[in-house]
Every structure is written in C-alpha cells, then in structure tokens.
C-alpha cells in the first residue's frame, strides 16, 4: 500500500489517546509528553517515514498525520487542563477539610439537656395525663415545717407513723421542726388551706416535686426522688372515684396491658388507705430482681382523705369528701423505660443520660 507507513495510524492514535486519558497527574503528563508528541514520539517517526512516498501520497499522508497530531495534542492539552483543575480542587479540598474539622468540632460539642432528663420527661408526661383527666398542676415547697409534713397530715408529735419516713431535719429554728419534705403530701395541705381561704372548693390538683428520705439507695430507692401527689375534694366523692382514677391513669400512662391493683394499706392521712401497685413492666408479672420476684411494683399510696386532715385545714367533712394519692415519678420512669436499677438515674453515666437528651 502506498501509505503503508500510516497503515496503523488510527490504532496508533487510539493508543495514544488511551495513554493520555490514563495520565493520572501533571507529573506523569510532563514525563510522558516527549514520547507522546515530542521528537521521540510515534508521530514524529511516522513523519520521518513519509520521505519514501511520492509527493502526492506524501501530501495526503501528511494531511492525515497532521490531523492525527492535532487530535493527540488537543487530547493532551485537555488532559493537562483537567489534571490542573483536579490538582486545584484537591488543594482546595485539603484546605476545606481543615476548616471543616474546626467547624465540625464546634458542632459536635454536646448541647446537654435538662437533668435529670428522664425524670423531667416522665413528670411532664404524667402531668399531661392528669391534666387530660381534669386535674390542674400545682407546686409546693421542698423545705417544710413539721406541721405540714406530719402534723396536719394527722401525725401529732411522737405519732408512731412518723417512723414510716426516715426524715432529714434541717438545723433551723427549734430542733426537729424544719424538714426536707419526705413526701409531696404536705402540698395537699397548702392547697386545701388556700382553697378554704379563697373559698374556691372543689379542688382537683396534682402536685409533682422532689422529696427526700434518709434511705440507702438500692435498685428501687433513692435518697432524693420525685413524687406526684393528687387530690380531689368535692361533694359526694367515693372510693370508686379513687379506684377509677388510678385505673384510668395506669392504662393511659403505661398502656392497656399493664394492670393496677389496690391493696389495703395504712396511711395516717387517709381512711381507708390502700397501696397502689402495677404489673412489673420488666418481667411483665413473671417475677424478677426489680420486683423482688412478686411480679408487682408498688407505685405509691392512696385513700379517702381522713376527717382529721379536713379538720386541720378547716374543711367541713360533712359537706366535702375527697381522695388523695401519691406515687414515685422515678419509679414510673423505671417502669416505663424498664430501668433495672434506679441508681442509673443519678449516676450521670453519659451512655444512659444521652438516651433521653
Ligand atoms: N405520702 C405517701 C408516701 O409518700 C403516699 C401517699 C399515700 C400519698 C396515701 C397520699 C395518700 O396522698 O393518700 O408514702
């Protein structure tokens, strides 16, 4: 063939284009440039071989070769621009990553949460259930006089029932006259006094808050814990209203598969009194360490308000009757979230705390 020197030109060009496309860096490109398009290149040696052709053939072959060179050079320049752009992006990326780290570190700072988050969450959820049932939410002081914490609740000085609560006394005033409240029940007294003063009976309220007892912490007890107290004072209130309220609450808060039961109990401020228990949610009633193998967990106490309590606050027990209840918020959280050991609530182990923040 007359243009025999260029017989494989197309393949050779394809090969060159592939080699160019494979160049992975500007350094590789600079190194390869002489063999791709320079004096030592295939194209240059083809150029030299054209001398053996006739002038006419040389013109055609020259034109083909020139076109081939144009394509190769163009591809090489395109690759150079691409590699330059990539190098620039990589450089910017490197810079940006540094900046990114700084920003991300700032974002990663944990925002924290109201603590103890889970108890607060539980308290709000309980309040919501009771508000839905027609109760309003009230507050009371954590430091109480002996009168509010005990005496007005039908426990005169030296009453044996005072021993039901291991009490922290404050060094304030006469010895043993000021206490950290051992339960939220004294807040009932404040509310009833206020209702009498304002002549605003009937009264339907819940009173959440922190309480203190000289207890040794264990799986079910903390020395500082939370209760929610409830009170209803109205006309014609019966024990059936109390039982219905407890049952409605249990199902609304824990779900329909958790049962509640009332067992006869004793509290000086209610008559009759009952202890309020629910199915242990950790073992679903089978019996486990948390419920001491009974299948039931005691949440708190309740009963019909004792006439002696009405007398202490000046409510006429002939006209009004009522019930009250009080139970542990931490205990509810424990049952709702199936926390085997309540001490997790105060240990501040971030692996625990973060689940609720
Ligand atoms: N205050 C009691 C306690 O902490 C619980 C309690 C029982 C509250 C009966 C009540 C009640 O209002 O009527 O052990």
> Structural domain tally of the chain?
2
Question: In this structure, which residue's CA is closest to atom 10 in ligand 1?
Answer: 325
Same domain, yes or no: 52 and 123: no
Q: Radius of gyration (Cα) for the chain, nearest Å?
A: 42
Question: Do 258 and 337 belong to one domain?
Answer: yes
Q: How far is the CA of 34 from the centre of ligand 1 (A)?
A: 95
pLDDT, position 100: 56
Q: Which domain holds residue 86?
A: 4-94
Residue 302, ligand 1, Cβ within 6 A: yes
pLDDT digits (tens, 9 = 90+) for 257-294: 899 999 999 999 999 999 999 999 999 999 998 899 99
Q: Are residues 218 and 295 in the same domain?
A: yes
Residue 48 and residue 152 in one domain? no
Domain assignment present for 67: yes
Task: Examine the domain organization and report whether 67 and 158 are in the same domain.
Answer: no
Instruction: Tell me: do 8 and 143 sit in the same domain.
Output: no
204: domain CATH number is 3.30.930.10
| CB 229 less than 6 A from any atom of ligand 1 | yes
pLDDT tens digits, residue range 151-177?
Answer: 999 999 999 999 999 999 999 999 999
Mark whether 282 and 233 lie in a shared domain.
yes
The token pair that represents 82 in the structure block: 């691409």
The predicted structure's pLDDT at residue 177: 94
Pair (236, 281) in one structural domain? yes
213, pLDDT greater than 90: yes
* This prediction's pTM: 0.69
In a domain, 125, yes or no: yes
* Residue-level pLDDT at 1: 43
Helix residue ranges per DSSP H, the chain: 9-22, 26-37, 42-49, 55-108, 117-132, 146-149, 185-198, 239-254, 307-313, 329-336, 344-347, 350-353
Tokens 């009759």 sit on residue: 272
Looking at the structure, do residues 268 and 322 belong to the same domain, yes or no? yes
In terms of domains, do 42 and 167 share one?
A: no
Task: Determine, yes or no, domain membership for 106.
Answer: no
The residues with which 210 forms a beta bridge, in sequence order, are 226
Would residue 99 count as lying in a domain? no
Residue with CA closest to ligand 1 atom 8? 326
């Amino acid at each position: 063939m007359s243009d025999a020197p260029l017989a494989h030109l197309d393949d050779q060009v394809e090969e060159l284009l592939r080699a160019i496309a494979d160049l992975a860096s500007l350094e590789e490109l600079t190194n390869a440039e002489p063999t791709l398009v320079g004096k030592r290149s295939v194209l240059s040696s083809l150029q030299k071989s054209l001398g053996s052709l006739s002038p006419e053939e040389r013109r055609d072959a020259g034109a083909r070769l020139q076109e081939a060179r144009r394509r190769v050079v163009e591809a090489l320049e395109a690759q150079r621009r691409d590699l330059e752009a990539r190098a620039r992006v990589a450089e910017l990326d490197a810079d940006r990553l540094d900046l990114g780290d700084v920003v991300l570190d700032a974002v990663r700072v944990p925002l924290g949460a109201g603590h103890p988050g889970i108890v607060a969450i539980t308290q709000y959820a309980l309040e919501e259930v009771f508000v839905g049932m027609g109760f309003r939410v009230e507050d009371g002081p954590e430091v109480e006089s002996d009168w509010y914490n005990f005496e007005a609740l039908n426990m005169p000085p030296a009453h044996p029932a005072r021993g039901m609560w291991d009490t922290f006394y404050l060094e304030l005033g006469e010895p043993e006259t000021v206490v950290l409240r051992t339960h939220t029940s004294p807040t009932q007294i404040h509310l009833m006094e206020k209702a009498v003063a304002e002549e605003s009976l009937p009264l339907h309220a819940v009173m959440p808050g922190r309480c203190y007892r000289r207890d040794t912490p264990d799986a079910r007890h903390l020395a500082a814990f939370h209760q929610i107290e409830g009170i209803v004072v109205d006309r014609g209130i019966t024990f059936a209203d109390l039982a219905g309220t407890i049952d409605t609450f249990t199902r609304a808060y824990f779900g329909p598969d958790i049962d509640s039961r009332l067992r006869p109990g004793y509290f000086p401020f209610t008559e009759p009194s009952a202890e309020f228990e629910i199915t242990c949610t950790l073992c679903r009633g089978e019996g486990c360490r948390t419920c001491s193998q009974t299948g039931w967990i005691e949440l708190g106490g309740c009963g019909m308000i004792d006439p002696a309590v009405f007398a202490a606050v000046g409510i006429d027990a002939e006209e009004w009757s009522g019930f009250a209840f009080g139970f542990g918020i931490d205990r509810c959280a424990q049952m709702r979230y199936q926390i085997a050991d309540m001490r997790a609530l105060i240990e501040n182990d971030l692996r625990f705390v973060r689940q609720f923040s």
